[in-house]
Amino acid sequence: MTDIFSEFKARGLVAVSTDEAALQHALDKDSLTYYVGFDPTAPSLHMGNLVQLITARRLQLAGHNPLALVGGATGLIGDPRMSGERTLNPREVVEEWVAKIRAQVERFLDFSGTNAAQVVNNYDWTSQFSAIDFLRDIGKHFPVNRMLAKESVSARLKSESGISFTEFSYQVLQGNDYLELYRRYGCTLQTGGSDQWGNLTSGVDLIRRVEQTSVHALATPLLTKADGTKFGKTESGTVWLDPSLTSPYAFSQFWLNADDRDVMKFLKVFSFRPVEELDAIEAEFTAAPHSRLAQKVLAEDVTTLVHGREQYEQVIAAASALFGGGQLEDLDPAILGAATAELPRGDVDAAQLSAGLPVADAFVTAGIVKSKGEARRAIKDGGAYVNNVKVTGEDQTLTSAEVLDTATGGVILLRRGKKTLGAVDVVS
C-alpha cells in the first residue's frame, strides 16, 4: 500500500471528490474495491479514456481491487452530451464494440494476484429489470429536481432540441451500476472524469438512500491544451488507442508534438516514473527546452504503455530512417506507411516507372521543389536523395526497384537536403 491519494494530488489527478479526508483514510487503511466505466460508443477507446485507464492502473499498483465496467447497457443509451442527442447505435454494433473495448481495457490491468482485476458488463444486470421493477426499486430514489440540476441535463433543457427521456435516464442507469457493484463486490469507490461528476454522485446518493452507507467518488480533471485546442485531437481527428485507427507512429508523434507549456502536465498524468524523477526531467528540460527531452520521455513512456516496447522501437527506427539514420527497407511496412502518411506527396503511374521516371519529375510531383530546374540544381549540389540514397546524376531515373512496401501500397521517399521530405505513391 502507498499513499496513493497524495500521489494523485502531486500529479494533478484530483479535480473533485466526495469527503476527501474519508476517501484518503479509506485508501490508506486497507485494500478497497473500485470501478471505472467505459461506454462502447465507438469501436475504440481514445486519449481521454486513457486518463481513466491509467488512474485504474495506479490504484491497482497501490494494492486496490479494480473492476473495469464495459457498458453494454449504457452504451445502448448514451450519456447526454452538451451538443445534442446521440444517434442510437444498433445492438449488434454495440455488442461488437463491447468486445473490442473489453480487450483494450484488459491490456492495462493485472488479472492475477491477490488484487486481480475483473471486467464486468452492466448489461448482465440491467437486462434483468422489468420497466416496472426498475421504476419502483431504483427510480423511486432519484429526486427529479436533483436530476434536472445535473450540468449536462440543465444545458440540454435550455437548448432548442431539449433532451429525450432516454438520455435523461442515463444517470439512473449509472447510479444503479454503482449499487450493483457495491452489492456484488463490495465496491466503495468510483472514478471518472470531472465531466462525469453528476453521474458519479448519482450512484453515491443511491447507495446512501438504499443501503444507508457512505461510498466514495473521485473525478480527475479534464485535460486541456495551452493552445486552446481539444486534448486528444489532431488535424486528422481523434487519437485512438486502437493501432488500426491511429498508428503507433502517429500516436507517438502526438506526444512528441506536445506544447512546451503542456508537456510536464502530461508527463505527470501519463508517465509512471516517480514524481521526483519527473521533477529532475523538468529541471533539465527547462534549462534546455530545445532538446525536447520532456516530449521524448513522454512519447516513449506512453507509446510503450499503449502499444508495447517493440512497436515503440520500430517507431523510433522509422523516424530515424526517414532522415537517413537507418535502412528504410528494414522497416515494418505498416510503420513505414504511417511514418510517410503526412508527407507532401503526389502520385506516379507504375507504367511511368517501367519506362524510367526522371528524378527531377518525381521531385516536382511530390511538391519538394517548384520546377524541374530547381530539382536539377538540388541534384547538382548533392542535396537530392531517393530512399536516403544520394542522387548522383541530373538525368537519373526512378524504376520499380525503388518502390517500398507500405502495406497499403508502394511509395518512394524523396528528400532535399537534411530536412525537406516528400513522397510519391505508385498507382496502377
Residue 255 has pLDDT above 90, yes or no: yes
Q: Mean pLDDT, to the nearest integer, of 384-399?
A: 92
- pTM of the predicted structure, to 2 decimals: 0.88
Residue 235 has pLDDT above 80, yes or no: no
The tally of CA atoms less than 13 A away on the side-chain side of residue 76 is 12
- As a whole number of angstroms, the distance between CA 129 and CA 114 comes to 33
- As a whole number of angstroms, the distance between CA 402 and CA 404 comes to 6
Q: Mean pLDDT, to the nearest integer, of 287-311?
A: 96
**Average pLDDT score over the chain:** 93
Phi–psi pair at 88, nearest 5 degrees: -75, 130
The dihedral region occupied by 164, where left means phi > 0, alpha psi between -120 and 50, and beta the remainder, is: beta
Phi–psi pair at 274, nearest 5 degrees: -55, 150
pLDDT tens per residue across span 144-164: 998 888 888 888 888 888 999
Phi–psi pair at 12, nearest 5 degrees: 75, 30
368, three cell numbers? 519538394
Binding site listing for L-tyrosine: 35, 170, 174
Query: What does 155-222 look like in DSSP terms, one character per residue?
Result: HHHTSSS---HHHHTHHHHHHHHHHHHHHHH-EEEEEEEGGGHHHHHHHHHHHHHHH----EEEEEPP
pLDDT tens per residue across span 157-196: 888 889 999 999 999 999 999 999 999 999 999 999 998 9
- Quickly state the pLDDT bin for 1 (edges 50, 70, 90): very low
Q: Which residues contact 314 (CB under 8 A, 6 or more apart)?
A: 248, 331, 332, 335
Are 52 and 222 in contact, with CB atoms under 8 Å apart? no
Q: What is the pLDDT of residue 352?
A: 82
What sign for the dihedral angle of Cα 185, 189, 193, 197? positive
- Quickly state the pLDDT bin for 98 (edges 50, 70, 90): very high
Binding site listing: 35, 170, 174, 233
Q: Mean pLDDT, to the nearest integer, of 390-397?
A: 91
- Which of 76-85, 102-111, 261-270, 416-425 shows the lowest per-residue confidence on average (mean pLDDT)? 76-85
pLDDT tens per residue across span 399-413: 889 999 988 889 999
Q: What is the set of domains in the chain, with CATH numbers?
A: 4-222 (3.40.50.620), 225-307 (1.10.240.10), 333-427 (3.10.290.10)
Q: What is the pLDDT of residue 54?
A: 97
Residue 81 has pLDDT above 90, yes or no: no
Percent of the chain with pLDDT over 90: 76
Q: What is the pLDDT of residue 2?
A: 67
Residue found under cell 485546442: 229
**Any idea of the CA torsion for 26, 114, 98, 219, to the nearest 10 degrees?**
20
Residue spans of beta strands (DSSP E) within 383-428: 384-386, 389-390, 397-398, 404-405, 410-416, 420-427
Q: Which of 343, 334, 340, 346 is nearest to 321 (CA)?
A: 340
- As a whole number of angstroms, the distance between CA 38 and CA 74 comes to 9
Binding site listing for ATP: 233
Q: What is the pLDDT of residue 158?
A: 86
- As a whole number of angstroms, the distance between CA 51 and CA 53 comes to 6
Burial degree of 108 (CB within 10 A; 0-12, 13-18, 19+) = buried
- Which of 15-19, 38-42, 203-207, 231-235 shows the lowest per-residue confidence on average (mean pLDDT)? 231-235
Name the strand (E) or helix (H) holding 347.
Answer: strand 345-349
- Quickly state the pLDDT bin for 330 (edges 50, 70, 90): confident
Percent of the chain with pLDDT over 70: 100
Phi–psi pair at 160, nearest 5 degrees: -65, -35
